[in-house]
Structure 1
Amino acid sequence: TAESSRDTVLQDLFQLQQKHADLRKSHTDLERYYSQWKARAEYLDRENRQLRRDLDHARRPRDRSALGQENYQLRRDLDRARRRLDDSALSQENRRLRRDLDQAHQQIAGSAAAADLQAARLEIHVRGEKIAELERLLAKANERRAQLHRVHERTLDSANRTVQGLRRDLDSLRGGRYTDRLQAAQRQVQQLTQELDSLRGDSGHARLQAAEHKVEDLTRELNSVRRQHTKAEDSLQGAQEACRGLNAERDHLIKDRDDAVQSPKRVQSRLSHHEAEIAQVGQIHQERDEFQQERDRLRQERDKMATRVTKLTAQLDQSSQDREAAISKRNEAIREGQKYYDSNRDLLAQIADMQHSYRLVRQDFDRVQDQQDSSDKNVRISSPATPRSLGNETALSTAWRLLLRPPCMAPLLNAVGKRPLPLRTPAHL
């Protein structure tokens, strides 16, 4: 029936609304999870920037030392590892998952619009069911109209026959034997009255009594005839009232017949307006099936996306652990470098003292060398080399050997990377 089909359609519509609400809830959970993951990524980025600032701050005073170079190398390795991480499959998978999430968001928004459209189409389907019910009611109304028409014809024939019989009875009563008897009785009464008057004038007592008895009999008969005439008039009035009732019923049936004739025209006009909607009912069912298939596909994609997000979360956790391990190693290296720097601070001070002593010795040596050059020029002009000049050269070479002996130069060579300073030796002079 129309009510059962309408209940079925409403139940399907309610189920679709519930499924749409479940999809919205799943989408909301996915967005909340994505926002949490995004907040965590932003927190890790802030922590990374803070660690980078700390690294830069710790690197500035040590850029010119061996520890600074090692720190700079570690920073370059960290940047290289970060670039590899950005170019890795995990990052690409993350970007692809973000695109899939945006597409799923758009598809869910489109599914919401499709659900609204499906609800409107189901409403059209309900209207189509109502139109079908109206068609069935129209067929029943046509059948009922035909039955009423037949009953009307039979009732009209019966009423016509009854009216004709009543009219015949009325005519018979008006011109029949009762009227003749009434007129005869009236004539007899008049004759008897005349005879009574004549008898009263003749003073015939016996004949007067007989005439009075006869008059009484005639009066009773006249009263009986009058009562019968009154009953006939009452029956005639009842027949007329029945005829009026039959005429009213006939008018009502005629009106019902006209309404029944006009109602198919109105229904036909409405049917012509809803024929297109009725034709779309099958298409709506097909689109509903397609929507259900699309919904199942979206659920499968959502499950796959949830699995990917879980894997991505695990990979991000692993990457975070690896980065934390690298950061801990870097901090350990920084602490070891600090310890090394603290332990070698005294050695650096000694190296600075030795460099200062070296500059003083070099100044003295240059001054002595200049004096020696001037004296050599004077001696060369006057005579060949003297033992004094040989003694001076011997003293200078001895001073250089004492200055450049291994125990004195070992800390300096270790401090400058085992590369001797560009000193001017006597061989170079």
Structure 2
Amino acid sequence: MAMKAPRGTVDILPEDTAKWQYVENKIKEICEAYYYHEIRTPIFEHTEVFQRGVGDSTDIVQKEMYTFEDRGGRSLTLRPEGTAAVARAFVENKLFGSPNLPEKLYYFGSMFRYERPQKGRMRQLNQFGVEAMGSEDPAIDAEVIDLAMHIYRSLGLKSLKLVINSLGDKESRQAHRDALVTHFDPYREELCSDCQSRLDNNPLRVLDCKKDRDHPAMKTAPSILTYLNEKSQAYFEQVKAYLDAMDISYTVDPNLVRGLDYYNHTAFEIMSEADGFGAITTLAGGGRYDGLINEFGGPNTPGIGFGMGLERLLMALQVENIEIPVDTKLDCFVAGFGSEKVRTEAVKAVHQLRMAGIQADTDYQHRKMKGQLKAADRLKARFVIFLGDDELEKQIVTIKNMESGDQKEVPMKDIVSEFKVLLEES
């Protein structure tokens, strides 16, 4: 039987990794401009981290996690998302004691969810995320949203829609929760089994159900915005004012929810409105989670963050016909032909060029000269250095500009310095 990658995973081949690297480097540059710093957490955690950090009642915890026991009988889980792991690290390493709060962090990592694979959503997905922990200023909410929008815009995406909502504080959420139970309870038997359970445990998540989204009761469900108290309303208005000041367009959607009990105030999603993107339009989603750090045994510490799927970002770029500027050309190909002494000198020349920071390669298939030139063409080499027995005897090499056809003989001892000049001139 032929070995294949597991369902829901893909190989990212060299012709595509260059695009990934470009996108990741662009994101890192933007994070540095916002003074966010990278954090790297383990690829697996104790299962309780996600039970607490994502929520027992969520589909992720109940249906989608890759969980296993190690040899010591401990339950471990491949991370399905990044926020819980970062929150655990924040508490364990006592980052809450920093005098420079908020702690502004970002991460890249593979996440694992056992769900039906589809375009842009795999069982192993790659995610970029941001967490800002230690401030309850609505300005940090606006900053996090601005950072996400800046990433998409800097890469050239135009068909974007930012949707925001307020979940209010604890008091506002409780009032809304009671109203949701009263509203949906008469329809309980008409709802899916998951929503029947959610109605008792976390009624806010009923609004996020994909199975029951067309039920008539969804259209008349009470809005959280109706139940915001004065403090929560003021907080939401300030977030919107900051977004307005930064000229960031948004739509308020009272049905946008983050279904965990410790989520509060700001929630947001960024969507693609490009034709052909598909039915699932969400590119990124995030929100404020002021109770999360406390769940991990830390002090009451406010926080806000988002997660961004990199596969979906690359898909959005493709749909909007945005070319990623990836340079796949090789600086120099060293073509050696003749005796073993020539071969040794060619290997030496490649090494010297590389030590000087020049991208260089040579033939490892023992091809004749014609075959080596074809290889140089396939690698899109800017220059080819020719080295044969005659050149070795004279202690020279010939450097050819493959675009212009110009050739130049240079002393073998000056290969690096002469080549640097040619690169600067080309």
Both proteins in one fold, TM over 0.5: no
TM range (shorter): under 0.3
The structure showing larger relative contact order (alpha-carbon pairs under 8 Å, at least 6 residues apart) is 1
Greater per-residue strand proportion: 2
Pick the structure with more helix per residue: 1
TM-score between the two structures when normalised by the length of structure 2: 0.17
